[in-house]
Amino acid sequence: MTKKPKTVLLDFDGVVIDSMPFHLEAWEKSFKSVFQCTLDKDVLSSLSGKSTKVIAQHLTKIENKPLLEEILIDKKLQFLQELTHGISLLPGAAEFIEELNSNNIPFGIVSNASRNFIKDILDQQQLDVPFYLGIEDYTKPKPHPQPYFMGAKKAGIEFKDYGSCFVFEDSFHGLKAAVDATMYGIGITSQHSAEGLKKAGAKLTFSSLEDALLSGLLR
């Protein structure tokens, strides 16, 4: 791999921030609030790496109450918002973003998280990010490629340069969105193995943005 990125699009959870324990706690609390019972620990641990929509469908199916899917999602987002102050950056995230800014590489965050959640953490961590997109911005969230099409447009990149648009993802559904958008998917192994991420379409894998930065990827 020798090319330099024309733009960089970053997923948020598991790439920029270390948030998975907080997501699981929010799911546990929302499940108890909606269904008035405790979520099985084995079921809870199995939720890592899945999209919000898939998790909500799975949990409402367990209780045989599919009509409560949107209510469960709303509750989960409410509980997660209350937990933002405990969430920290993953190794190298601040330095990676600083390097993007220093090198004038267009970039932004493209996430299935809510915009308020993203904004709160960016503000808390004082990260200088040109733009961010959240779940409210799409009609079709990841694994559909629409979020990355929108991200490319915000970054000012043309379709002919999509192959030089580096997308950093930690999930299989996020990589599917990047691959289907014909962009250059890069896996971060915060949730899944390098082998699994490569099978999902990652061209390269790193343990963190710190690892990616040390590799000279942006230079």
Contact between 93 and 14 under an 8 Å Cβ cutoff? The reply is no
- The model's confidence at residue 2, banded by pLDDT at 50, 70 and 90, is low
- Reduced 3-state DSSP string for the chain: CCCCCCEEEECCECCCEECHHHHHHHHHHHHHHHHCCCCCHHHHHCCCCCCHHHHHHHHHHHCCCHHHHHHHHHHHHHHHHHCHHHCEECCCHHHHHHHHHHCCCCEEEECCCCHHHHHHHHHHHCCCCCCEECHHHCCCCCCCCHHHHHHHHHHCCCHHHHHHEEEEECCHHHHHHHHHCCCEEEEECCCCCHHHHHHCCCCEEECCHHHHHHCCCCC
pLDDT at 71: 96
Q: Model pTM?
A: 0.89
Per residue in 47-91, pLDDT tens?
A: 876 778 889 999 999 999 999 999 999 999 899 989 888 899 999
Q: Is the pLDDT of residue 26 over 60?
A: yes
Tens of pLDDT, residue by residue over 164-214, are 999 999 999 999 999 999 999 999 999 999 999 999 999 999 999 999 999
More confident residue, 100 or 85: 100
Write the pLDDT tens digit of every residue in 118-151.
999 999 999 999 999 999 999 999 999 999 999 9
Q: What size, in residues, is the chain?
A: 219
Return d(Cα 85, Cα 124) in angstroms, integer: 8
